[in-house]
Amino acid sequence: MKILGIDPGYGITGFGLIEADRGQYRLLSCGAITTPPNTDFSWRLGVIYNDMTQLLQVAQPEAVAIEELFFGQNVTTGIKVAQSRGVVLLATQQAGVPLFEYKPAQVKQAVVGYGNASKHQVQDMTRRLLRLAEVPKPDDAADAVAIALCHARSSTSLLGRIQEQT
């Protein structure tokens, strides 16, 4: 199964495309959709939407996994990230690709086995699971790869299969 993981943002939206087959994982590609600072926000959203649409056409994933938002201290930033996430959701829905959403703790639990794992632990385990020489760059891409791995590991669990049957 080809899974596209997305770490949404308005300056940098990370993506990671993996192939998962019977507990074996392979990184196909990863990178980031970037928009320049100090440009019109609606234009930035357009860039993210257009690039995401193109990425979905080229990658042809069977599933898209995206991180749910975590609002920290800066609500203004959170709102802009939410808008960016919205255009990613729209592009995914229009492409007809099944979408799955995961909380940050779920990603950490699925990848590391501990819901309060550090960013470094998640990145290192991502590298190990994919048998990579180093952690994918930039960090947003590494996060997106971890989100894709979360879906791969969660969707093949017994609980995931039981939920599909009901």
- CA 32, CA 3: separation in Å to the nearest integer? 16
Say whether 140 is catalytic: yes
- CA 144, CA 91: separation in Å to the nearest integer? 17
The one-letter amino acid at 92: T
Provide CB contacts within 8 A for 73, sequence distance 6+.
none
Say whether 143 is catalytic: no
Catalytic residue among 124, 140, 143, 164: 140
Provide CB contacts within 8 A for 56, sequence distance 6+.
4, 64, 91, 92, 95, 97
Catalytic residue among 19, 21, 51, 67: 67
Say whether 67 is catalytic: yes
CA distance to 37, 73, 117, 130, per residue, from 4 (Å): 26, 29, 22, 15
List the catalytic residues. 7, 67, 140
